[in-house]
Amino acid sequence: MGPCDGGVACSERSTFEPVMRKVRAIRAGDRIALVAPASPFDRDRFDLGVAEIERLGLTPVITDGLFARRGYVAGDARGRAAALTAAWCDPSIAAVMAARGGYGSAQILPFLDLALLRKSAKPFIGHSDLTALFAYLTCYGDMPCFHGPMVLNLAGGEARYDRDSFQRALMATEPVGELAPDGLMAFRSGVADGPLLGGTLTQLVASLGTPFAFAPPPGFVLLLDEIGERPYRLDRMLTQLAASGLLQRASGVVCGEFPECDEPNGRPTARAMVAEFFETFPGPVLFGFPTGHTTGPALTVPLGVQVTVEAGRRSRLVVTESVLE
């Protein structure tokens, strides 16, 4: 049997069901499991992030092996997968949040039972290296994920994450609605609708050619986030994404701020490189959407849900569907 349920290898499945599974909205007092699927982390910053979770009226739960360290990952892959699964399947846990990204999420994919996770679908929150898990859960498990803060991001308080969008995305049953942050710019004008999918560019291209490859449906809206990758590296990864056929499936593109991605001497900038790359893209392309890796407060957006992208005189992302009940 392959890594997906039903005996079908993930790479054999080209699209997912158009309707995401509903998950319960987080409520005050709910228990939030904190997991470390990727790299280890600084304990002082972690404790500050835990304090912010408590200020949100939620109860953080320390999971098995959370503080493990094995070189550049937070313990062995089987242990990290087991801890995530245990938290996910615990009926007393309302949501799961990653402590940090870094590296290692892809290592645990072979040890996850997708059918088991689908039976206990719940909000999963994070970004960066967690993109490997997000692609798997959304594209093959029909489970929404939330591109938002991790515990270490919360350590910075509201200077590092946008509390309003976090609460709208995870604690309300209505659609998030309009997100039109300052600084959002249109590289290609137009309007597009589709399910929002994607995440960190490095992880998306690293998945290609594996049984867990990013496999969005035609008409999806591509979310791209990245940090610390120089323009030629961004070009290389976007070229690979295009050669794979995935860009041809996208109806629109929403790019993050791409901090620390300019050349050391300032030219070319990541913004200029991305603008040039998408100059012939047939749909709307936005740049500067502050989610994931940002220079200021990061927005939380649900992945796998229907959105509308408008780029032009009025540029915005509108989340038109809710997967919370």
Q: What is the pLDDT along the chain (325 residues), one digit of tens a residue?
A: 234 443 333 444 444 445 789 999 999 999 999 999 999 999 999 999 999 999 999 999 999 999 999 999 999 999 999 999 999 999 999 999 999 999 999 999 999 999 999 999 999 999 999 999 999 999 999 999 999 999 999 999 999 999 999 999 999 999 999 999 999 999 999 999 999 999 999 999 999 999 999 999 999 999 999 999 999 999 999 999 999 999 999 999 999 999 999 999 989 999 999 999 999 999 999 999 999 999 999 999 999 999 999 999 999 999 999 999 9
177-319 domain in CATH 3.50.30.60? yes
Please write down the long-range contacts of 61-66, taking CB distance under 8 Å and 24 or more positions apart: 61/31, 61/32, 61/33, 61/34, 61/87, 61/93, 62/34, 63/33, 63/34, 63/35, 63/87, 65/36, 66/34, 66/35, 66/36, 66/99
DSSP assignment string, 221-248: EEEEE--S--HHHHHHHHHHHHHTTHHH
CA distance 68 to 74: 5
| Every domain range in the chain assigned CATH 3.50.30.60 | 177-319
Q: What is the pLDDT of residue 5?
A: 42
Whether the Cβ atoms of residue 120 and residue 57 lie closer than 8 Å to each other: no
| Every domain range in the chain assigned CATH 3.40.50.10740 | 5-170
Whether the Cβ atoms of residue 127 and residue 204 lie closer than 8 Å to each other: no
* Helix (H), strand (E) at residue 249: helix 246-249
Q: What is the pLDDT of residue 19?
A: 75
Rounded mean pLDDT of the chain? Answer: 94
Q: What is the pLDDT of residue 183?
A: 94
DSSP assignment string, 34-61: EE-SS----HHHHHHHHHHHHHTT-EEE
CA distance 161 to 148: 8
Please report, for residues 17, 183, 212, the alpha-carbon distance to residue 166 in angstroms, rounded to integers and kept in the order given: 26, 20, 28
Q: Which residues contact 62 (CB under 8 A, 6 or more apart)?
A: 34
Tokens of 278: 């998408």
Q: What is the pLDDT of residue 8?
A: 36
Q: What is the CATH number of domain 5-170?
A: 3.40.50.10740
Q: What is the pLDDT of residue 200?
A: 98
CA distance 19 to 80: 29
Q: What is the pLDDT of residue 10?
A: 43
Please report, for residues 23, 191, 307, 309, the alpha-carbon distance to residue 316 in angstroms, rounded to integers and kept in the order given: 26, 10, 10, 6
* Best CA proximity match to 14, nearest among 196, 200, 139: 139
* Best CA proximity match to 215, nearest among 13, 5, 3, 9: 13
CA distance 52 to 61: 13
Please report, for residues 8, 60, 141, 253, 323, the alpha-carbon distance to residue 170 in angstroms, rounded to integers and kept in the order given: 31, 15, 19, 23, 9
- Is the omega angle on the peptide bond into residue 290 within 30 degrees of 0, that is, cis? no
Q: What is the pLDDT of residue 74?
A: 98
CA distance 324 to 195: 15
Q: Which residues contact 116 (CB under 8 A, 6 or more apart)?
A: 85, 89
